[in-house]
């Protein structure tokens, strides 16, 4: 049955899966504003010498683009293993088109119809969307008012929910909250399923803090997911990856599409990894702007939450909608993540951060 307005078939008239009816697709507002600080991108451009090397790698790959790419993306996996360290080998590494596809592969292999996934809300909004899209049930746990979660509470909630897949966003999105390794260990002990530690923002944590990668030995159900979108300024390239027991990698091969990583993607990511020190140099600049934003927000009377990421969630906003619109009208785009009296802003360049703070102070 067609809509009388534009002739298109209405969604409700299609034989859509019942569990997808009423859902809305993921997506942040997009607008061509001078200062876009709403989706936690690394707003620093890729350095010229790195971009040149990436382009050279892509040019070489183009010469054989008539052939299928390396299905096992061997060179890229070796690059990730070297970058992550901790004695990891390439057979413990997986990659896909963004960390969302990495998570989707995990859910396809270990979730699905009749199974359950669990996460502590508020957290990354794609967890329930990916879970339901793969036919599983999503259960949301709770956090403390400051968005932390204790080992005891985490273990108790996971044991009660008895999930097949657990999502631990560490540091957490959209709140920026760190998660200690003892929480991860407690959740692992309390669970029977796959435990995914999503470290998309780990590079922005204090340098002396240990990664969940250190917990992998002896824990065959533990997975540590990462992305190149943030620290590596590679959001447009769509490259995510994970480290886990080699048996988990074997399971993911059962659900991935053939040749899922293009030759061009593999070449670009492999080249970028060769310049990891240069790319990570931007992280220090971003962390400095994040901390500056937090300090200034506090001085302006808002309540910024502790953040180990490249963004800041701040409370004390009387009318988030009006504040968001006021900033928008001044050419600054940030994010209303749906948390009452709160907004989230990405730490951009010094100029972008200044533009945000001045616009906010002027409201």
Q: Residue ranges of the domains in the chain?
A: 11-46+278-361, 48-274
CA distance 354 to 112: 45
* pLDDT at residue 23 in the model: 80
What is the DSSP secondary structure assignment for residue 211, as one 8-state letter?
A: P
Q: Are 295 and 289 a contacting pair, CB within 8 Å? A: no
Q: Look at residue 1 in the predicted model and tell me its pLDDT.
A: 43
Identify the pLDDT of residue 211.
98
Closest listed residue to residue 286, CA positions, set 326, 346, 221? 346
Burial group, residue 244, by CB count within 10 angstroms (0-12, 13-18, 19+): buried
Per-residue pLDDT of the chain (363 residues; tens, 9 = 90+): 444 556 788 888 899 988 888 888 887 777 889 999 999 999 999 999 999 999 999 999 999 999 999 999 999 999 999 999 999 999 999 999 999 999 999 999 999 999 999 999 999 999 999 999 999 999 999 999 999 999 999 999 999 999 999 999 999 999 999 999 999 999 999 999 999 999 999 999 999 999 999 999 999 999 999 999 999 999 999 999 999 999 999 999 999 999 999 999 999 999 999 999 998 889 999 999 999 999 999 999 999 999 999 999 999 999 999 999 999 999 999 999 999 999 999 999 999 999 999 999 999
**Residue 250 to residue 256: CA distance in whole angstroms:** 11
* 260 phi and psi angles, rounded to 5 deg: -70, -20
What is the number of other CB atoms lying within 10 angstroms of the CB of residue 208?
Answer: 5
CB 59 within 8 A of CB 211: no
Q: What φ, ψ does residue 95 adopt, rounded to 5°?
A: -145, 160
CA–CA distances in Å: residue 345 to residues 27, 163, 274, 334: 16, 32, 30, 5
Retrieve residue 224's tokens. 């540590």
Q: Top-level CATH class of 11-46+278-361?
A: alpha beta
| The listed CATH number (3.40.640.10, 2.60.120.10, 3.90.1150.10, 3.40.30.10) that belongs to domain 48-274 | 3.40.640.10
């Amino acid at each position: 049955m067609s809509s009388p307005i534009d002739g298109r078939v209405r969604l409700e008239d299609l034989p859509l899966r019942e569990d997808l009816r009423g859902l809305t697709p993921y997506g942040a507002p997009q607008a061509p504003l001078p200062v876009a600080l709403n989706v936690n991108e690394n707003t620093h451009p890729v350095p010229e010498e790195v971009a040149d090397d990436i382009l050279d790698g892509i040019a070489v790959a183009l010469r054989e683009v008539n052939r299928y790419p390396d299905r096992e993306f061997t060179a890229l996996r070796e690059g990730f293993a070297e970058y992550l360290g901790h004695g990891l080998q390439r057979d413990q590494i997986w990659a896909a088109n963004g960390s969302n596809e990495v998570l989707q592969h995990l859910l396809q292999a270990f979730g699905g119809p009749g199974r359950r996934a669990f996460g502590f809300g508020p957290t990354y909004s794609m967890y329930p969307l990916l879970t339901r899209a793969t036919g599983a049930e999503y259960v949301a746990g709770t956090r403390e008012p400051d968005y932390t979660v204790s080992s005891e509470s985490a273990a108790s909630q996971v044991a009660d929910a008895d999930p097949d897949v657990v999502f631990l966003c560490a540091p957490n999105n959209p709140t920026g909250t760190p998660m200690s390794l003892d929480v991860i260990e407690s959740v692992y002990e309390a669970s029977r399923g796959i435990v995914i530690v999503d470290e998309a923002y780990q590079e922005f944590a204090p340098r002396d803090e240990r990664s969940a990668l250190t917990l992998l030995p002896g824990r065959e159900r533990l997975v540590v997911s990462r992305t190149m979108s943030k620290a590596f300024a590679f959001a447009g390239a769509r490259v995510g990856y994970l480290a886990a027991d080699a048996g988990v990698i074997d399971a993911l091969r059962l659900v991935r599409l053939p040749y899922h990583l293009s030759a061009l993607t593999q070449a670009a990511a492999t080249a970028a990894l060769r310049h990891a020190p240069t790319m990570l140099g931007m992280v220090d600049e971003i962390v400095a702007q994040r901390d500056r934003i937090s300090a200034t927000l506090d001085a302006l009377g808002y309540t910024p939450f502790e953040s180990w990421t490249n963004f800041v969630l701040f409370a004390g906003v009387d009318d988030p909608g009006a504040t968001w619109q006021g900033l928008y009208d001044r050419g600054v785009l940030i994010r209303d993540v749906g948390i009452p009296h709160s907004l989230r802003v990405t730490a951009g360049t010094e100029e972008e951060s200044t533009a945000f703070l001045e616009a906010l102070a002027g409201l």
